[in-house]
Structure 1
Amino acid sequence: MKPSLQLRFSQQLALTPQLQQSIKLLQLSTLELNQEIERMLLENPMLEREAGEEDEGASPSLPEPQEASMATAGEEYSSERVSSGEDEYEAASVADMPDSINEAYDSVSDDDIGEAAEWRSEGASHGSGDGEDGDFQDLQAAATSLRDHLLGQVALMAMTDRDRALVMLVIEALDDDGLLLQELEELLPLIPPEWDVELEDLTISLHQVQSLDPAGIGARNLQESLLLQLKTLPESESRRLSMIIVDGNLELLAARDFAKLKRRLSCNDDALRSAQELICSLNPRPGARFAAPETRYVIPDVVVRKYRGAWTVNLNSEAMPRLRIHKVYADILHHNRGVSSTLSTHLQEAKWLIKNVQQRFDTILRVSQAIVDRQRQFFEHGEVAMRPLTLREIAEELELHESTVSRVTTQKYMASARGVFELKYFFGSHVATDTGGECSATAIRALIRQLVAAEDGRKPLSDARIAELLGQQGIVVARRTIAKYRELLNIPPVSQRKSI
């Protein structure tokens, strides 16, 4: 083969740095956006957060969301561009940027603002003042672990140091639910040989742990935990039947084979029902309440309100970062253009960031309003009125790409009178109706939940019967689809929903 030169023509999409930043900011959640902005604030001296009106030496602050947009803060120096020796270029992603977002807040009345302020003041004052003990106790309960709770009781018990050490060893072997899943024989190698501990000694220590609060702690399985809890209750006929059921007939109760249970126990429906209610009131995980709760905070990007008979979407001002150009550095660069090319680059990057952040919220607002316009019946009547919706419908209406709508609706949340929902929640598949229309899968799941909630416990509805009832309403759904939706709703099958 001989070396040769060839000329080829090809097309490829080149993303400018500002367009790449715009796409990146669009797909970030509110918390991730704040983290990204904090990083940019540390790297770019030309960018700063709004400090407030009391800072007289700073540049003009960003107006309130009802008055102007974040983009206006970066336009103070846009009349005279700063060159750093390279060709100037404009951000392709913000060519059609709006100058303000006044329209997003024009629909909010003074009454709405007053109600929101009143709600915030009530929330801020809740738990303060004379009633501060309640919140403090909640914090203490959350900070106390199961191990600390049990060791605190052991410290008050009269026993030798050796016995106390064995009890602590058993406590350390408990899992987060307070159950002992290890065999006692597995704990023997952990004990020093000179202590001369036998299996019987560990069994005694286990019984001492099982006597501690909460009841059911230290059990080796669910059955033992339920029995330990029942033993702490006062004597009654329901307690006697419950102990018999748990001791040898728990599988029949789980399968809801009430006829066989009544034959074995020689009891009537009322007695069996009382025993069932007593068993269901027990805690299968006695130590779980001491586990540290996993708290996940969601900051809504938009808020939906009904104003003058129409559902309108407004940006959440608490979620919008308030950014501006640093006046001191900008003045230095404005009067001394040749001082530093680095400052020129930082100034341009700061302007891009402010405009891209503004474009992000503007796009979220447009998509959210389009979703609300399509799903207004949901906000009026709930899930049963949800209509099928696809990303393509919103993309075609707003003249955006489907990928853009997908980024906007991922990890973005909408607060409404019916709760806080991710924007993805309003999109879903559909099934056909007898009239030739379509019904949303969300609406079908809501109907299934209503039918199951209203069913007769003695004769629960089967999946086939639910499909028939939906068919009577004109919704054609297969039995397998009903079963799939029922599992998504965590509704047990018909055999496990039967009551006495």
Structure 2
Amino acid sequence: MNIELSQKQSLNIVMTPDLRQAINLLQYSTLGLAQFIKEQALENPFIELEEEVPEVNFSEASQTYRHKSRSNTNNEQQINLVDHISTNKDLSLSEYLLEQIRWLDITPRQLTVLRYLILNLDANGYLTLTCEDIALHLKEEEQFIHKCIHILHRLEPIGVGARTLKECLILQAEELFPQEGFIVPIISHYLDLLGERKWQQIAGELNISLNEVENVFTLIQSLNPKPGSAFISANTPYIIPDIIIEKRMAGYTISMNDTYLPKIYFNKQYNDLKSKNHETEKFLSKQEQKYNWLIKSIEQRRLTILKIMDVIVKKQVHFLEYGYEALKPMTLKEIADELGIHESTVSRATNNKFIHTPIGTFELRTLFTSKLEQNNGSDISSMKIKILLKQIIEKENKRKPYSDQKIVQFLKDKQGISVSRRTIAKYRDELNILPSSKRKLII
């Protein structure tokens, strides 16, 4: 074995911190970018921010500003970017229940437990803690906890405080349909068979008619499996569109929703400190470079997203007019090839982004769909097939629902679309549509 020294020239891409920052900025949403800018301002004395919190109604073309503040790292006001959006004055589920127990004739001890139960309900109104856990935490007897849960079950909405789906439905059935003698037994022991449409088995075991089983099925469908879902949530997420598409006489215009981004200014007062000493000058020079790179990266992010959106809008004009039914097949690679950029760049630029259009607000990534070829040689998007699939099933005879194979044949004969049975089953699952055997009213 010989050991020798030699030189070799090669080209390698080095992932520098600045390059990594530029890539990260591209995939940030508007609010994510706003938070990143604030974090940079805390570390960099040259970054001075001016924040404007807009009151924007995206269904109209009006924008007003209710607060304006200029701040730097020494005096930064914390502002909730979306607190002005929610104008819903309805109560949350916990507020609604706490208001009810104020008027109950109960002991302070019961009131304490009820408050604890209410504040531990999930968003659907279910109690996820066990009696044992509650009793242990509150240092109470389990029997007393059971009594308090029973009080909770008497509150509105009916079914709140249930531990299971069966209990939730039984609470509602007992309150709403007390004369229907078979509904509680069917919920208690035959709910799975009912969902599988095995009604003859239920009728045989309970010695009742198929019509009675069907009637119970109809009544159960009228119950609410999520009694808390009708109430607002304290943690309701609000969508802030990152890109705004507006229709003008000459076509569509595309703009970034920068109203939620703080304006960035260069704080010149620190320039005078550069001559203090070498370490100070070195630190400030590095921070100035970071400031310049931040400005450059933000602008590059804006230009890249607008460039990509320009191609998307040209491809999806019909979608902007008619919605998902008119969505054309489109992939990340197609956009990347047309612009001469890497597919990963398109992926980052479209990830975590929402677009506001004249027909509504949508997640940008939902516009990218795979394509299937029709009999005439043209392409159709998977989204279009899902819409057709849903329409076909909505119009079917519920006593003789279409099998997946029949839907395949229907699409081929009526729409000229060739698709496999496995694809139909996959799309049906994605749409949360049951197979034909479980959609049938009576077996």
Q: TM-score over 0.5 for the alignment? A: yes
Alignment match, 1:40: 40
CA deviations over 1:191-222 (Å, ceiling 9, x no partner):
99xx9x8x988877765665555544565654
Amino acid at match of 2:35: Q
Alignment match, 1:49: 49
Amino acid at match of 1:310: G
In structure 1, distance between residues paired with 2:365 and 2:150: 52
Asked if 1:156 is matched to 2:105, the reply is yes
Alignment match, 1:475: 417
Amino acid at match of 1:496: K
Q: 1:242 offset after TM fit, Å?
A: 2.8
| Identity percentage of aligned residues | 35
Q: 1:402 offset after TM fit, Å?
A: 1.6
Q: Does the 8 A contact of 2:58 with 2:356 survive in 1?
A: no
Q: 1:11 offset after TM fit, Å?
A: 2.6
Q: Which has the larger radius of gyration?
A: 1
Asked if 1:488 is matched to 2:427, the reply is no
Alignment match, 1:117: 62
CA deviations over 1:98-136 (Å, ceiling 9, x no partner):
xxxxxxxxxxxxxx9994117999x999998xxxxxx44
Q: 1:181 offset after TM fit, Å?
A: 7.8
In structure 1, distance between residues paired with 2:241 and 2:196: 43
Alignment match, 1:131: none
Q: Does the 8 A contact of 1:145 with 1:291 survive in 2?
A: no
CA deviations over 1:406-451 (Å, ceiling 9, x no partner):
2111112211133322332222222222122322112211211221
In structure 2, distance between residues paired with 1:293 and 1:232: 29
Q: Does the 8 A contact of 1:389 with 1:428 survive in 2?
A: yes
Asked if 1:427 is matched to 2:368, the reply is yes
Amino acid at match of 1:477: V
Asked if 1:462 is matched to 2:407, the reply is no
In structure 2, distance between residues paired with 1:498 and 1:113: 43
Secondary structure of 1:48's counterpart equals: strand
Structure 1: gaps of 5 or more residues: 53-111, 129-134
Change (3 A) 1:170 1:250: farther
Change (3 A) 1:306 1:499: farther
Secondary structure of 1:324's counterpart equals: strand
Asked if 1:366 is matched to 2:313, the reply is no
Asked if 1:498 is matched to 2:443, the reply is no
CA deviations over 1:244-272 (Å, ceiling 9, x no partner):
53355434422224455567565574x65
Change (3 A) 1:168 1:10: same
Alignment match, 1:97: none
Secondary structure of 1:232's counterpart equals: helix
Q: Does the 8 A contact of 2:131 with 2:146 survive in 1?
A: no
Asked if 1:418 is matched to 2:362, the reply is no
The 5 A counterparts of 1:263-342 are 266=208, 269=211, 274-286=215-227, 292=233, 294-308=235-249, 310-329=251-270, 332=272, 340-342=281-283
Q: 1:287 offset after TM fit, Å?
A: 6.1
Q: 1:496 offset after TM fit, Å?
A: 2.1
In structure 2, distance between residues paired with 1:173 and 1:341: 54
Alignment match, 1:240: 181
In structure 1, distance between residues paired with 2:63 and 2:42: 36
TM-score (normalizing by structure 1) = 0.68
RMSD (CA atoms):
4.5
Q: 1:478 offset after TM fit, Å?
A: 0.4
In structure 1, distance between residues paired with 2:131 and 2:274: 76
Change (3 A) 1:420 1:247: same
In structure 1, distance between residues paired with 2:9 and 2:417: 55
Q: Does the 8 A contact of 1:333 with 1:344 survive in 2?
A: no
Change (3 A) 1:156 1:248: same
In structure 2, distance between residues paired with 1:221 and 1:26: 44
Amino acid at match of 1:254: G
In structure 2, distance between residues paired with 1:290 and 1:406: 36
Secondary structure of 1:305's counterpart equals: strand
Change (3 A) 1:447 1:364: same
Change (3 A) 1:267 1:119: farther
Q: Does the 8 A contact of 1:144 with 1:290 survive in 2?
A: no
Secondary structure of 1:458's counterpart equals: coil
Amino acid at match of 1:418: I
Q: Does the 8 A contact of 1:385 with 1:443 survive in 2?
A: yes
Alignment match, 1:230: 173
Q: Does the 8 A contact of 1:460 with 1:497 survive in 2?
A: yes
Alignment match, 1:96: none
In structure 2, distance between residues paired with 1:113 and 1:384: 23
Asked if 1:144 is matched to 2:85, the reply is no
Secondary structure of 2:48's counterpart equals: strand
Alignment match, 1:88: none
Secondary structure of 1:471's counterpart equals: helix
> Which stretch of structure 1 is more off in the superposition, 458-467 or 278-287?
278-287
In structure 1, distance between residues paired with 2:65 and 2:51: 22
Q: 1:21 offset after TM fit, Å?
A: 3.1
> Which stretch of structure 1 is more off in the superposition, 19-28 or 340-349?
340-349
Change (3 A) 1:275 1:120: farther
How many residues align? The count is: 417
In structure 2, distance between residues paired with 1:113 and 1:212: 38
> Which stretch of structure 1 is more off in the superposition, 398-407 or 8-17?
8-17
Amino acid at match of 2:169: L
CA deviations over 1:369-390 (Å, ceiling 9, x no partner):
1111111122223223222222
Change (3 A) 1:430 1:260: same
In structure 2, distance between residues paired with 1:124 and 1:201: 41
Q: 1:497 offset after TM fit, Å?
A: 1.8
Pick 1 or 2: higher relative contact order, CA cutoff 8 A, min separation 6: 1
Q: Does the 8 A contact of 1:143 with 1:292 survive in 2?
A: no
Change (3 A) 1:324 1:459: same
Q: Does the 8 A contact of 1:48 with 1:326 survive in 2?
A: yes
Asked if 1:356 is matched to 2:297, the reply is yes
TM-score (normalizing by structure 2) = 0.76
Q: 1:485 offset after TM fit, Å?
A: 0.7
Aligned counterpart for 1:394 among listed residues 335, 360, 363: 335
Secondary structure of 1:312's counterpart equals: strand
Amino acid at match of 2:5: L
Q: 1:234 offset after TM fit, Å?
A: 6.1
Amino acid at match of 1:227: I
In structure 2, distance between residues paired with 1:494 and 1:409: 37
